[in-house]
């Protein structure tokens, strides 16, 4: 099958790895990065321009387009591809508002009877003090629109919460939410109208530094599945969150077809929604897809062709997978780029997935904040994490850093429900 993947990060490298089918599929990626060239033809495209994506899909005669990041989805790329008669994995512009507008997502959840945090949208700086009074002492302050995973501040400091809210208000509405107690679960759900098929549950690590310190990032590491989640945990998230939302989207006349990322906090009453994404999450995708045995092209193609209900049950490799992100110095505030990257396994996508790399004079150099992902698998979570760290310790990039505690609390039994 000829497949075009849109995106340039570690998530898209993981998607390409799964879609390669041991060389059976012809892959193109745009705009891609240097590390993806071992798997796919790397082309240029403006991901925010649906017409440009359609033109590229026609140029490579794509039989399936897989959209990785949120920007093209919210811009309407899936709609444009469908209108051109090209199969696409990714929701429509209207359905992608579950990620594009947090206020819209709250409205849908309220109509569907889905548990989530209480929220208040603020559009005027004059209303900030009242919102801070209402939602402390742990403040959750969000950009209502897209923010690349970094538009959220969770803090006990009123001054920090207010400063973030003021910054967000310079470009649009800000959302204050009540803080949800409990560990977070990332569950990817394939959604085709009212049909929902979950993947393995995972957990992301958002803070830049060990012990969940430092600023929020796009994600510094992840692992899957979750040894601390109840046996019926995935089923409950599907039954109590994903399926009601899917039904509500159908009822509204904007059925969802694609990947719905459910970010949930598991509190005393069970799961409650922290956020939705309209696509695969990064870096959880890198861990989850490392364990998928069912051909990924068959899985995504079933959604794109509206045949998900006909897909056989997904097959998974036993054990666990983990990924650790190597970040450039200064990330996330001011990442330093242009540094030489050396080490083993840089061209082995089963171990290293590129996110922000390019090539200069035949050698890899950094071109983004999150530079690459080390991936490990093992019979136990501890073995999987140890393998990921073994890989990342063999890579050199001056000034770079990574968290040393990915999955540590789960391994040490510190997460309980």
pLDDT tens-digit series, residues 73-87 = 999 999 999 999 999
Do 107 and 116 contact (CB within 8 A), yes or no?
no
Residue whose pair of structure tokens reads 């340039």 in the numeric block: 8
C-alpha distance from residue 239 to each of 44, 63, 197, 248 (Å): 40, 33, 11, 13
Q: Verify that 132 and 222 share a domain, yes or no.
A: no
Q: How far apart are the C-alpha atoms of 378 and 367, rounded to whole Å?
A: 30
CATH code, 151? 3.30.1490.20
pLDDT per residue over 387-413, tens digit each? 999 999 999 999 999 999 999 999 999
Considering the domain boundaries, does residue 168 fall inside one? Answer: yes
Domain boundary among 147, 177, 207: 177
What pLDDT, on the 0 to 100 scale, is given for residue 42? 97
Q: Which residue, among 202, 227, 207, has the nearest Cα to 325 in the 3D structure?
A: 207
CA neighbours closer than 13 Å in the CB half-sphere of residue 46: 6
Helices (H), ranges, 84-196 = 97-100, 102-112, 128-135, 158-169
Q: Verify that 207 and 271 share a domain, yes or no.
A: yes
**95 pLDDT above the threshold of 60:** yes
CATH code, 378? 3.90.600.10
CA 234 to chain centre: 18
Q: How far apart are the C-alpha atoms of 290 and 128, rounded to whole Å?
A: 44
**149 pLDDT above the threshold of 80:** no
139-153, 160-174, 319-333: which range is least confident on average? 139-153
- Give the pLDDT mean for 95-100: 95
Do 52 and 45 contact (CB within 8 A), yes or no?
yes
Domain boundary among 177, 197, 226: 177
Q: How far apart are the C-alpha atoms of 100 and 72, rounded to whole Å?
A: 11
Residue 111 has φ and ψ, to the nearest 5°, of -70, -30
Q: Verify that 207 and 305 share a domain, yes or no.
A: yes
Considering the domain boundaries, does residue 101 fall inside one? Answer: no
Domain count, the chain: 4
| pTM attached to this predicted model | 0.91
CA atoms 35, 371, 97, 76: torsion sign: negative
Considering the domain boundaries, does residue 109 fall inside one? Answer: no
Omega before 225 within 30 of 0, i.e. cis: yes
CB atoms within 10 A of CB 231: 6
Considering the domain boundaries, does residue 111 fall inside one? Answer: no
Q: Which residue, among 140, 58, 76, 130, has the nearest Cα to 106 in the 3D structure?
A: 140
Residue 27 has φ and ψ, to the nearest 5°, of -110, 140
Q: How far apart are the C-alpha atoms of 186 and 285, rounded to whole Å?
A: 10
Q: How far apart are the C-alpha atoms of 221 and 352, rounded to whole Å?
A: 13
Provide Rg for the chain, Cα atoms: 20
**Model confidence band, residue 378 (pLDDT cutoffs 50, 70, 90):** very high
| Helix, strand, or coil (residue 71) | helix
What pLDDT, on the 0 to 100 scale, is given for residue 152? 80
What pLDDT, on the 0 to 100 scale, is given for residue 142? 82
List the structure tokens of 137. 């002492």
- Give the pLDDT mean for 70-74: 97
Q: Verify that 201 and 285 share a domain, yes or no.
A: yes
Q: Verify that 74 and 134 share a domain, yes or no.
A: no
Q: Verify that 335 and 398 share a domain, yes or no.
A: yes
What pLDDT, on the 0 to 100 scale, is given for residue 409? 97
pLDDT per residue over 281-318, tens digit each? 999 999 999 999 999 999 999 999 999 999 999 999 99
DSSP character at residue 237:
H
Q: Which residue, among 208, 393, 405, 203, has the nearest Cα to 286 in the 3D structure?
A: 203
Domain containing residue 75: 2-93
CATH code, 44? 3.40.50.20
Considering the domain boundaries, does residue 108 fall inside one? Answer: no
**Model confidence band, residue 148 (pLDDT cutoffs 50, 70, 90):** low
Q: Verify that 305 and 196 share a domain, yes or no.
A: yes
What pLDDT, on the 0 to 100 scale, is given for residue 178? 84
**266 pLDDT above the threshold of 90:** yes
């Amino acid at each position: 099958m000829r497949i075009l993947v849109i995106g340039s990060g570690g998530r898209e490298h993981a998607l390409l790895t799964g879609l390669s089918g041991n060389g059976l599929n012809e892959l193109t990626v745009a705009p891609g990065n240097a590390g993806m060239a071992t798997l796919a033809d790397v082309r240029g495209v403006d991901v925010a321009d649906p017409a440009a994506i359609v033109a590229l899909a026609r140029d490579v005669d794509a039989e399936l387009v897989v959209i990785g990041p949120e920007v093209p989805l919210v811009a309407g790329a899936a709609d444009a591809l469908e209108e051109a008669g090209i199969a696409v994995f990714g929701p429509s512009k209207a359905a992608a508002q579950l990620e594009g507008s947090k206020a819209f997502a709250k409205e849908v959840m309220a109509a569907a009877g889905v548990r989530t945090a209480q929220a208040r949208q603020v559009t005027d700086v004059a209303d900030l003090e009242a919102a801070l009074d209402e939602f402390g002492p742990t403040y959750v302050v969000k950009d209502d629109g897209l923010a690349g995973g970094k538009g959220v501040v969770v803090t006990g400091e009123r001054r920090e919460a207010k400063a973030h809210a003021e910054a967000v208000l310079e470009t649009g509405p800000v959302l204050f939410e009540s803080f949800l107690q409990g560990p977070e679960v990332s569950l990817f759900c394939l959604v085709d109208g009212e049909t929902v098929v979950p993947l393995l549950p995972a957990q992301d690590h958002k803070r830049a530094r060990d012990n969940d310190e430092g600023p929020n990032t796009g994600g510094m590491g992840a692992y899957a599945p979750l040894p601390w989640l109840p046996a019926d945990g995935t089923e409950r998230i599907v039954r109590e969150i994903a399926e009601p939302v899917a039904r509500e989207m159908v009822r509204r006349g904007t059925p969802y077809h694609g990947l719905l990322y459910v970010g949930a906090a598991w509190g005393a009453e069970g799961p409650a929604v922290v956020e939705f994404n309209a696509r695969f999450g990064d870096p959880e995708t890198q861990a989850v897809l490392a364990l998928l045995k069912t051909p990924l092209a068959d899985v995504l193609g079933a959604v794109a062709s509206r045949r998900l209900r006909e897909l056989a049950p997904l097959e998974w490799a036993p054990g666990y997978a983990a990924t650790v992100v190597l970040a450039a110095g200064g990330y996330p505030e001011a990442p330093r780029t242009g540094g030489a990257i050396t080490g083993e396994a840089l061209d082995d996508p089963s171990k290293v997935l590129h996110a922000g790399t390019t090539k200069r004079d035949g050698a890899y150099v950094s071109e983004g904040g999150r530079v690459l992902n080390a991936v490990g698998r093992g019979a136990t979570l501890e073995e999987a994490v140890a393998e990921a760290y073994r890989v990342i310790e063999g890579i050199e990039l001056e000034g770079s850093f990574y968290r040393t505690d990915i999955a540590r609390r789960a391994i040490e039994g510190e997460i309980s429900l």
